[in-house]
Structure 1
Amino acid sequence: MNYGFVKVAAAVPHVKVADCKFNVEKIESLIAVAEGKGVQIILFPEMSITGYTCGDLFSQQLLLEEAEMGLMQILNNTRQLDIISIVGMPVIVNSTVINAAVTIQKGKILGVTAKTYLPNYKEFYEQRWFTSALQLRTETVRLCGQVVPIGANLLFETSDTTFGIEICEDLWATIPPGSSLALQGAEIIFNMSADNEGIGKHSYLRSLISQQSARCIAGYVFSSCGFGESTTDVVFAGNGLIYENGTLLAQSERFSMEEQLVVSEIDVERIRAERRVNTTFAASQANLEGKRAIAIATEFVNSKELNLTRKFNAHPFVPQDNELHEHCEEVFSIQVAGLTQRLVHTGAKTAVVGISGGLDSTLALLVCVKTFDKLGWSRKGILGITMPGFGTTDRTYHNAVNLMNSLGISIREISIKDACIQHFKDIDHDVNVHDVTYENSQARERTQILMDIANQTWGMVVGTGDLSELALGWATYNGDHMSMYGVNAGVPKTLVKYLVQWVAKNGVDEESKATLLDIVDTPISPELIPADENGDIKQKTEDLVGPYELHDFFLYYFLRFGFRPSKIYYLANIAFGGVYDEETIKKWLSTFFRRFFNQQFKRSCLPDGPKVGSISISPRGDWRMPSDASFAMWLKEIENL
């Protein structure tokens, strides 16, 4: 299976201006290399057969004929190859010359894409030599003895994807042709270019491609002229760029004297999933009147074995190092803004938080502290309630108390042991039987305490449960599942850790920092089972439900893109290679889907809480699912892996 991945390449060959024979040899060589790498579609720069900087030589009959002969040579020498190639050349149409992208496969010309927007300002003089696609009065052209479609509105359909082509300046237009092609089905846009360099232009170009690929919800492959083009007045750096819905996948080395082949895989399944969810994309198709594209079928090619070159972040909710600070600051600010509005709107006098010494309650407390500081309220209005139970360890207890003291909030300690023992007597439960009743009774007792204290103090219970726990249903129904506002509801467990670390390093005193860093290093546990003989945590969550980093990975690709279990499993094995073996990943993937489906009833009645990232499981937001849906299909696919 190729799991929806299409392997593409942006080629930057050596070029000699007006030397078609030399240029064709370099093109053929890179096509052969790309074919060997399993590339399905390869793109070359604008005018790659002749060179872009030929100037008035484009009016020379010899150059135009040699370009066509060069294309014929490429057709002959690649007719045994499956790969689809897109090369640039001047094409004569009814006594005019078109700046064209010629798409070929197995010795056949599939179509000729004509450039629509010809720049004729500053250093550009293309209208001197070429005619725009807007002035074409024919839909076919004879080239290399073949009569083929020509236009700016061609769609090429393969067994794996549909793609369209635009040329250089087309991208810079107010409404690029690629936008229309995307709305008509193109999942990948290829742009052959002769983009010259200037100070600051490259970053602007990358921004432009990123935005266009994101706006079109498409893959975008860009190949621009490099070493060998004339430097009489401008310089070309040889840009090969591959984007997917706004994200850069691969890029060439700029100003290199070596020819380059930039290869990556575009996930068209992911693009399709984004388009299905984004109803604005479908609505935009109403603007296509009179712009109907011509569909061209390509030769069927047997799928080759998939060999991914692109990387996958094992922690998709956690950005890379250079973005982590800004990301954490933004997430934390969203949480604070959400709680600020809720406190002001309700007129609450206090914020009541159960403090366990664990990561989630710590993050909720830090959000409360920042919110009160922002409002100019005394931190004493934050009531931190520590509620020791049968499983509370010294480490978490002391961390909870130390943190509350150093942050200067109000502290109350209320043991739940006697109340729970009395409750066990009332319901005739043996206190020595540590089953689900034993555990959940403690969670519900704690929630009752928090709710009642909120009533006493005209306050609001601030929830601590995070996105990952809510996805797995790792919360006691009507226990820690419930609050008056859940500030962590949109934050996955893998990100909670980094947020607490970020606050420790950027927003608290040294004493609080030391406590926060120790909390980060503490094993995750609900502490509902008594500690071991050494007083250490015995009940470790990840031993029971599986590693949160795996579950967050599963959650991201399941909810964000609707991927099937087999694809999630495939990606997880790549992302976590050397960390977890295949059987471990398969085991916890089954656990994830079983728990996610079975625990939907808890998510159907979640308290309010802010969405902070691309995923939310609020029944009022991103995720609406029946509580009694069957998971049989998903588990069946996992069993067959």
Structure 2
Amino acid sequence: MGRKVTLATCSLNQWALDFEGNLERILKSIEIAKAHGAKYRLGPELEICGYGCADHFYESDTLLHSFQVLRKLLESAVTQDIICDVGMPIMHHNVRYNCRVLFLNRKILLIRPKMVMANHGNYRELRWFSPWNQLRNVEEYFLPRMIQEVTGQVTVPFGDCVLSTKDTCIGTEICEELWNPRSPHIQMGLEGVEIFTNSSASHHELRKADQRVNLIKSATTKSGGIYLYANQRGCDGDRVYYDGCAMVVINGDIVAQGAQFSLNDVVCTDMERAGSEKAYLQIRLYSHLEREPKPCHRVKVDFSFSSGDDIFLPTHQPITWHFHTPEEEISLGPACWLWDYLRRSGQAGFLLPLSGGVDSSSTACIVHSMCTLLCQAVKDGNGKSLWGGLWAFSLCQPITCTKKRYITQQRKGKKPKSII
């Protein structure tokens, strides 16, 4: 016997500093989650303001507008009766943190700051944020007045803590913490946490999906449990591409997979499974192991994920993760980035000089891959979500004039045909 629990994780194509657009996409993902009966919705890292804000994180307006979006989320009827987990920057004791905010029915349940910063390769998080290095410590955070007016709360828990409902316990990891040798899920699992979540902004890198899948499968193979992974999607105005790959893993088995390369702005993945078998694995195998001297602080909430009645449920059915070949990744990743860069820059197309060498030939293949993805998306009825998908077909026209002829037509005041 087990309890039916429905959870949702998503990949969102958030834009840096596009607060209105980001709010719209967050609400849309919550609508999709609720339509599938989910009681918990997980989103990507810093989804309210966008991950690639760079030095705009220093500006007080970025923090202010993030709280304004949070207020609209709290007030929205869409966010009622579901625990929403969103990401945003927060200033606590004059220190800036990368945080997760969990709320339910116009009440903020807890704020979880990131404890391990990504500060290598393409990432410079220590430039803008400080890590929360007080393990198992929770403080009181004084909410801004605009939030107090909605929630009726003056302070909320802020720090390294987990959420305890009537029927389960949820622990949070944020991106880089999963890659750390002392990942938080290890000790959380030993203390009875059954559902682990990870909000990420992980960029595409050749064969990186293999590493993500192996790490997440390993996290629940050791101690059991359910692991939800959410990731940013798109280029976010930067020079990297975030490739989604939202997933749900149970006891080391993948049970749900989100698309890695997609032009859709919102991709949700939900899962319905029994939540009781994990506790059996943990108690039987690992209850004798040494734990941290200070236990996890639990924030209790009067809420249930399950209906309350034990029912007979089949065991979860694993799926085989579909890994793209290296050739497919090289073709699809840059193609998706090109489309995002094109529509965000407001341009009408690309100028592609062809010299016949390897560089121009490879670029032409990638642009062709982009056009193929766009045409397929429009045929599938996703034109509106592509923000300009109706004119995407013009990008797929063959080159009809040379650069010299194109410039000549412009000088004569004529509107030249589209060229790529």
**SS of equivalent residue, structure 1 residue 88:** strand
Query: Could you tell me how far apart the structure 1 residues matched to 2:254 and 2:243 are?
Result: 18
Give the Cα–Cα distance (whole angstroms) in 1 for the partners of residues 206 and 313 of structure 2: 31
The CA deviation string for residues 406-464 of structure 1, in whole angstroms up to 9 with x for no partner, is: xxxxxxxxxxxxxxxxxxxxxxxxxxxxxxxxxxxxxxxxxxxxxxxxxxxxxxxxxxx
Equivalent position amino acid for 1:238 in 2? G
Counterparts in 2 of 1:29 and 1:299: CA distance versus 1, 3 Å: farther
TM-score (norm 2): 0.69
Residue in 1 that maps onto 2:64: 65
Matched-pair contact (CA < 8 Å) for 1:6–1:161: no
AA paired with 2:185? G
CA drift of 1:26 comes to 1.4
222-231 vs 161-170, which moves further: 222-231
Q: Specify the alignment match of 1:16 in structure 2.
A: 15
Shift in Å, 1:135: 5.6
Q: Secondary structure at the match of 1:133?
A: coil
Question: What are the Cα deviations for residues 182-220 of structure 1, in whole angstroms up to 9, with x where unaligned?
Answer: 222210100000111111111011001100121231210
Are the structure 2 counterparts of residues 219 and 85 from structure 1 closer, same or farther at C-alpha, using a change threshold of 3 Å? same
Q: Which amino acid aligns with 1:277?
A: R
Q: Distance in 2 between matches of 1:302 and 1:156?
A: 12
Alignment match, 2:2: 3
How far apart in 1 are the matches of 2:305 and 2:88? Answer: 29
Letter in 2 for 1:220: Y
Unaligned runs of 5+ residues in structure 2 are: 323-420
Give the number of equivalent residue pairs.
310
1:135-154 → structure 2 map (5 Å cutoff): 139-143=139-143, 144-145=147-148, 146=153, 147-152=155-160, 154=161
Show CA shifts across 1:313-370 (max 9, x none): 5xx9xx99x9xxxxxxxxxxxxxxxxxxxxxxxxxxxxxxxxxxxxxxxxxxxxxxxx
Aligned-pair CA distance for 1:30: 1.5
Kindly indicate whether residue 296 of structure 2 is the aligned counterpart of residue 293 of structure 1. Answer: yes
In structure 2, distance between residues paired with 1:309 and 1:68: 41
The CA deviation at 1:96 is 1.1
From the superposition, tell whether residues 308 and 75 of structure 1 become closer, same or farther in structure 2 (CA, over 3 Å): farther
For residues 263-318 of structure 1, what are the alpha-carbon distances to aligned partners after superposition, in whole Å with 9 as ceiling and x for unaligned?
0124321101212321xx1122x23113x2111122335855999999855xx9xx
* Correspondence 1:257 to 2:260: no
Give SS of 2:118's match: coil
Instruction: Find the aligned partners of 1:303 and 1:50 in 2 and give their Cα distance.
Output: 32
Match of 2:74 in 1: 75
Q: Could you say what secondary structure the match of 1:73 adopts?
A: helix
The corresponding residue for 2:373 is none
Write 1 or 2 for the structure with the bigger share of helix.
1
**1:455-604 alignment to 2 at 5 Å?**
none
| Displacement after TM superposition at 1:125 (Å) | 0.6
Q: Distance in 2 between matches of 1:310 and 1:45?
A: 30
The one-letter amino acid paired with 2:293 is E
Is 1:177 aligned to 2:177, yes or no? Answer: no
Letter in 1 for 2:142: R
Cα deviation, 1:572-594, whole Å, max 9, x if unaligned, reads xxxxxxxxxxxxxxxxxxxxxxx
Would you say 1:283 and 2:288 are equivalent positions?
yes
Q: Tell me which amino acid in the other structure corresponds to 1:249.
A: V
Q: 1:187 to 1:311 in 2, by over 3 A?
A: closer
Contact 2:102 2:111 in 1 (8 A): yes
Structure with greater strand percent: 2
Q: Distance in 2 between matches of 1:78 and 1:14?
A: 23
Change (3 A) 1:229 1:289: same
CA contact (8 A) 2:138 2:297 kept: no
Match of 1:551 in 2: none
CA pair 72-203 structure 1, distance change in 2 beyond 3 A: same
> Can you give the 5+ residue segments of structure 1 that lack an aligned partner in the other structure?
323-641
CA contact (8 A) 2:190 2:291 kept: no
Query: Cα offset for 1:56?
Result: 0.8
Distance 1:82 1:228, change over 3 A: farther
1:374 matched residue in structure 2: none
Give, as a single letter, the amino acid of the residue that structure 1 aligns with 2:192.
G
Residue 607 of structure 1 corresponds to none
Question: SS at 1:287's partner residue?
Answer: coil
The amino acid that maps onto 1:66 is H
Q: Does 1:163 align with 2:166?
A: no
Give 1:293's aligned amino acid.
Answer: C
Structure 1 residue matching 2:129: 3-state secondary structure: coil
Return the index of the structure with the highest Cα Rg: 1
Q: 2: CA distance between counterparts of 1:197 and 1:14? A: 14
Give the Cα–Cα distance (whole angstroms) in 2 for the partners of residues 53 and 309 of structure 1. Answer: 43
Distance 1:166 1:210 in 2: 15
* Counterpart-to-counterpart distance in 2, 1:263 and 1:309: 17
Q: What is the distance in 1 between the residues matched to 2:278 and 2:186?
A: 15
Q: Residues 271 and 309 (structure 1 numbering): CA distance in 2 closer, same or farther, change over 3 Å?
A: closer
CA shift in 2, pair 1:60/1:196, >3 Å: same
Q: Aligned AA for 2:157?
A: P
| Matched residue, 2:121 | 122
1:150 maps to amino acid:
F
Corresponding residue number in structure 1 for 2:248: 242
Query: What is the CA deviation profile of residues 124-148 of structure 1, one whole-angstrom value per residue up to 9, with x for unaligned ones?
Result: 1101101111069861212322311
- Could you say which residue in structure 1 is the equivalent of 2:212? 205
Matched, 1:109 2:108: yes
- The 5 Å alignment of 1:626-637 reads none
Matched residue type, 1:257:
L
Equivalent pairs: percent with the same residue?
Answer: 26
> 1:239-278: per-residue Cα shift (whole Å, max 9, x none)?
2110011100101011211111100124321101212321
Paired with 1:86 and 1:294, the residues of 2 have a C-alpha distance of 18
**Over residues 366-403 of structure 1, what are the superposed CA-to-partner deviations in whole Å (9 max), with x where a residue is unaligned?**
xxxxxxxxxxxxxxxxxxxxxxxxxxxxxxxxxxxxxx
- Seen in structure 2, the aligned counterparts of structure 1 residues 199 and 230 have a Cα distance that, compared at 3 Å, is same
SS of residue matched to 1:33: helix
CA distance change for structure 1 residues 223 and 308 in 2, over 3 Å: closer, same or farther?
farther
Closer, same or farther in 2 for the Cα pair 1:219/1:303, shift >3 Å? closer
Q: Matches of 1:161 and 1:128 in 2, distance apart? A: 37
Specify which of 267, 271, 280 is matched with residue 273 of structure 1: 280
Residue identity matched to 1:165: T
Higher RCO (CA < 8 A, seq sep 6+): 2
- d(CA) in 2 for partners of 1:201 and 1:302? 33
Once the two structures are TM-superposed, the CA of residue 18 in structure 1 deviates from its matched residue by 0.8
* TM-score normalized with structure 1 length: 0.46
